[in-house]
Amino acid sequence: MQELVAMIWQDKKDVLLALLAGTISGLTAVALFAQSGLLISKAALMPPFYIILILTAFLKLFGVTKSASKYAERYISHRVTFKFISIVRMKFFKKLLPQAHVLNHYKSGDLLTRITGDVEQLQNFFLRVLYPPFIALFVFMVVILFSLFFSPWISLLLLIGIVLTSIVVPYILFRRPYSTSTLEKKELTILATEYFYGYRDLVLHHQNESKAEELSALYKGYGNSRRKELDQEQTSYLWNQLIALFTSFSVVFVGAYLTSVGQLDGVYLALIVLISLTVFESAVPLALVPIFARHTKNAVGRLEAITSKNESDGTQHLKGFIQQIQLHDVSYSYPAATRPALEKLSLNIQAGEKIAIIGPSGCGKTTLLQLLMKEIKRTSGVIRVNTTDINDISSQSMYTHMSTMLQHNHFFSGTIKSNLLMANEEASDEALQEVLKKAQLIKNLEDPIFEKGGNLSGGEKQRLAFARLLLKESDLWIVDEPFTSLDVSTEKILFNTLHEEAANKTVVMVTHSLADLDQFDRICVMLRGQIVECGTHQQLVEGKGLYWEMLNQ
Ligand SMILES: Nc1ncnc2c1ncn2[C@@H]1O[C@H](COP(=O)(O)OP(=O)(O)OP(=O)(O)O)[C@@H](O)[C@H]1O
């Protein structure tokens, strides 16, 4: 919250102007009604014409000032809010972007609600949480001091009414627990997102109707909670208005009594009553301050929960080539996983080596590649690149040394060319066409690509990703099951191309295919998060261990 106040205060000129305009608007509203009361009372006593003229002139002045200051208040306070929201958005995205990779455990719908809904929620912070109490305080102070000139009893009555409407009703009588609608909205967005993402599979499995029913039940529940919350807000709003009315009635009675006993000039009675009726206009919005304050606090909590996940990155830069990567007793456990994905794994990768990682599904092959790519941080053990701990090397520095082709590669909407240039911005059209040819992808550079490569077949996606791999200049290739969607002959061609192009590079490749593994310098067999065998094809065959068994299955 303090950070939010500091952000708003960055725009202090506008904040002060909005407060000034709001106070003038509040005071002139009171003055306008007070003046009307005085004018009516004075007119009844038939004073000289110039008195009526002066009072009417003041009335006009207050009327014009009230409208102008109200307009200025709205204009400036909304300008403050929009600037504030844009600062919040910028700050939030700046914190969020570098850690996009650690956000994958958030469900898409939840992330969407936080990024849009929670940021939007903060727009109420200035307009409905910070601002109304300030204005109300100024207006109340002036009105209470002013009414002291007429009678301390009337001042006291106004003070009691103000305390009741601004403190007792919102903070004591109508204090609400945590709003459940926020949680329901989150669940609703999560389910709706999954429903739309998985609609095809839901239809194919005849689950779409039951899911839609679940969705509408959740929607109904959310609607009911929101209705309940709005009812509560309205009730507290209503109570404030009732107290305001009751106070004004009391002011009438006390004023009438004081007039009858000669302690108050009757000409001021209408003025005081109208002051009392108007001053509570500033008090009514106070009923909602704690509700919006709570919404703001919850939104800030949810936004902080994402941005506080920021993991520190290393700062060192890798000098020269990657000469070797040493993994010693490395373990890794995914958050909330019951068993480690990797357990005391050791491996020494020398520059120029071609290493194939094989093993049954789920044994930790991809996790090992993710550690090498610095996508995740080991739980224990040591990983050194050359002589430096991988955690101390900046991710950017690691990425400049490596080219990757993973199981799922992302393609952006654009063209073949724009997706290739990501790997090497300076590549000429000839170079791009050359890699397309090597990747056996018959496409023109300007052919369009839809979001996520939606208009490419599985095999085309792999060939485009392979072309990207070839294009990037790097000394380490990390490849995860590259050609699973291709026909056998194309797979063989690309496999040979990979070896030719990587002649001087270090390659770590995960594969399920056991064909042609003799082209690798070493084959490492993994089982339950550990490397259980490592050697050349010949050595492993002669050893008649797991690799040999897999070949003979
Ligand atoms: N994000 C994750 N959160 C929790 N557990 C995960 C996550 N990703 C993988 N795992 C678990 O970690 C283990 C190793 O997964 P990994 O993807 O490394 O296996 P793999 O050998 O590459 O499998 P495959 O050959 O099927 O691709 C598996 O038990 C898997 O369920």
| pLDDT score of 458 more than 70 | yes
Better-predicted residue by pLDDT, 44 or 99: 44
Q: Whose CA is nearest to atom 4 of ligand 1?
A: 334
How far is residue 500's CA from residue 544's CA, in Å, rounded to a whole number?
Answer: 29
Q: How far is the CA of 207 from the centre of ligand 1 (A)?
A: 27
How far is residue 522's CA from residue 444's CA, in Å, rounded to a whole number?
Answer: 38
One domain for residues 339 and 250? no
Query: Which amino acid, one-letter code, is at 139?
Result: V
341 ligand 1 Cβ < 6 A: yes
Q: Are 33 and 278 in contact (CB under 8 A)?
A: yes
Q: How far is the CA of 364 from the centre of ligand 1 (A)?
A: 6
Q: Any idea what the CATH number is for the domain that residue 177 is in?
A: 1.20.1560.10
| pLDDT of 59 | 84
One domain for residues 370 and 281? no
Q: Looking at the domain assignment, is residue 440 inside a domain?
A: yes
Q: Any idea what the CATH number is for the domain that residue 441 is in?
A: 3.40.50.300
One domain for residues 265 and 379? no
Q: Out of 306, 332, 350, pick the residue that ends a domain.
A: 306
One domain for residues 441 and 348? yes
Winning range, highest mean pLDDT, from 44-58, 195-209, 343-357: 343-357
Q: Looking at the domain assignment, is residue 316 inside a domain?
A: no
504 ligand 1 Cβ < 6 A: no
Confidence band of 102 (pLDDT split at 50, 70, 90) = low
| pLDDT of 104 | 66
Question: Which residue segment(s) compose the domain that 488 sits in?
Answer: 324-551
Q: Out of 274, 306, 338, pick the residue that ends a domain.
A: 306
Q: Out of 275, 306, 337, pick the residue that ends a domain.
A: 306
Q: Looking at the domain assignment, is residue 311 inside a domain?
A: no
66 ligand 1 Cβ < 6 A: no
One domain for residues 465 and 508? yes
Among the listed ranges 112-121, 251-260, 379-388, 427-436, which one has the minimum average pLDDT value? 112-121
Among the listed ranges 82-96, 193-207, 353-367, 502-516, which one has the minimum average pLDDT value? 82-96
Sign of CA dihedral 447, 450, 455, 459: positive
Q: Whose CA is nearest to atom 18 of ligand 1?
A: 364
Q: Looking at the domain assignment, is residue 313 inside a domain?
A: no
Q: Looking at the domain assignment, is residue 121 inside a domain?
A: yes
Q: Looking at the domain assignment, is residue 520 inside a domain?
A: yes
154 contact partners, CB below 8 Å, separation of at least 6: 147, 251, 254, 255, 258, 272, 276
One domain for residues 335 and 445? yes
| pLDDT score of 115 more than 80 | no
- Phi, psi of 508, rounded to the nearest 5 degrees: -120, 115
| pLDDT of 128 | 83
Stretch 388-408: mean pLDDT: 90
| pLDDT of 363 | 94
One domain for residues 222 and 298? yes
% of the chain surpassing 70 pLDDT: 96
How far is residue 405's CA from residue 414's CA, in Å, rounded to a whole number?
Answer: 20
| pLDDT of 301 | 82
One domain for residues 240 and 331? no
Q: Whose CA is nearest to atom 3 of ligand 1?
A: 334
pLDDT tens figures, 268-301: 888 888 888 888 877 777 877 888 888 888 888 8
pLDDT tens figures, 226-244: 888 888 878 888 888 888 8
Q: Looking at the domain assignment, is residue 273 inside a domain?
A: yes
One domain for residues 52 and 139? yes
How many structural domains compose the chain?
Answer: 2
One domain for residues 138 and 285? yes
Confidence band of 111 (pLDDT split at 50, 70, 90) = confident
How far is residue 547's CA from residue 526's CA, in Å, rounded to a whole number?
Answer: 10
| pLDDT of 536 | 94
255 ligand 1 Cβ < 6 A: no
One domain for residues 338 and 409? yes
pLDDT tens figures, 530-545: 999 999 999 999 999 9
pLDDT tens figures, 176-226: 655 677 778 878 888 888 888 888 888 988 888 899 999 999 999 989 888
- Of 82, 117, 58, the closest CA to residue 8 belongs to 82
| pLDDT of 281 | 78
| pLDDT score of 480 more than 90 | yes
Q: How far is the CA of 367 from the centre of ligand 1 (A)?
A: 6
Q: Are 20 and 134 in contact (CB under 8 A)?
A: no
Q: How far is the CA of 471 from the centre of ligand 1 (A)?
A: 29
| pLDDT of 16 | 92
Q: How far is the CA of 105 from the centre of ligand 1 (A)?
A: 14
**Please, how many CA atoms are within 13 Å of residue 361, restricted to the half-sphere of its CB?**
0
Q: Looking at the domain assignment, is residue 398 inside a domain?
A: yes
Q: Whose CA is nearest to atom 17 of ligand 1?
A: 366
One domain for residues 188 and 68? yes
Query: Which amino acid, one-letter code, is at 265?
Result: D
